[in-house]
Structure 1
Amino acid sequence: MLFVCVKNGGKSQMAAGLMRQLAADTIEVHSAGTKPGAAVNALSAQSLLEVGVDITGQTPKAIDPALVRDVDVVVTLGREAHVEPVDGTRFENWDTDEPSERGIDGIDRMRLVRDDIATRVRRLADQLHTPNPE
């Protein structure tokens, strides 16, 4: 599984951290950015620490085309991140909540973003753990 956003410092790191916590060792989780930034967003990390997820040791990474081909699922987060689809790989886009559009900023904004992503991560994990009927 690969989560992608533009800078790989916020939303994709949050999604990856939440999925790692939820799925433990049952799903291999990666994150990357289309134009990676320099560091993980401090407010993203702070909001995740509040729910027991530590992403402070993560660093933004560029997308590895080989990884895109090797994973089963690629999830882009937000409207700006785009990854060229690959045959045989499931692609999804999560147009995540953007509280700043409603005037909500700072840690309050990040908590709402975290909660939106957490709901989507739980739904995806459930789908991935449910066997397909044959």
Structure 2
Amino acid sequence: MPTASVLFVCVKNGGKSQMAAALMRKTTGDRIAVHSAGTTPGSSLNALSMQVLGEVDAPTAGEYPKPIDPQLLTEVDLVVTLGGEAHVDAPAGAVVENWDTDEPSERGIDGIERMRLVRDDIAVRVEELATRLLSDADAR
């Protein structure tokens, strides 16, 4: 049974938020309830994002871009937005933090190399968040 919950949000819910969710599921199994959504969901998952997740055995089977569920915003322990473009109108009392994730394309790095760098940046943040959420849950 999950001891904590998190909602990862990006704009399209096809890349970064899906990466964060898959990496958190891989890291914590069923100890944390993990959700992802987009402020303006796209129509499909980003193929390169899914490829680099496969390289680290963080599967996304059954996942698809979806909008933010307003009810979920009131239930999760933490909402994490990825990048500066995703904005969430969170209800009073909701805890929201932003991860200003690395954007290698700003340095001229694209394609699969870009996605690996984005994945690795998100993976470090996910590890730190997993430790924090599980410690907080144990302290309760």
The TM-score with structure 2 as length reference comes to 0.91
Aligned pair partner of 1:79 in 72, 75, 84 = 84
Structure 1 stretches of 4+ with a deviation exceeding 3 A read: 131-134
State the one-letter code of the partner of 1:57: G
Residue in 2 that maps onto 1:17: 22
Residue in 1 that maps onto 2:3: none
Residue in 2 that maps onto 1:61: 66
Secondary structure of the equivalent of 1:28?
strand
Count of aligned positions: 134
CA-atom RMSD, angstroms? Answer: 1.4
Distance in 1 between residues matched to 2:7 and 2:56, nearest whole Å: 22
Structure 2: 5+ residue stretches without partners: 1-5
Aligned pair partner of 1:46 in 43, 51, 68 = 51
* Matched ranges for 1:1-134 at <5 A: 1-131=6-136
**Aligned in 2, Cα 1:95/1:25: closer, same or farther, shift over 3 Å?**
same
Distance in 2 between residues matched to 1:130 and 1:64, nearest whole Å: 27
State the one-letter code of the partner of 1:8: N
**Which of 118-127 and 51-60 deviates more?**
51-60
Secondary structure of the equivalent of 1:20?
helix
Report how far residue 90 of structure 1 moved: 1.6
| % identical equivalent positions | 64
CA deviation map 1:36-88 (0-9, x unaligned):
00000000000010001112531100001000111110000011000013233
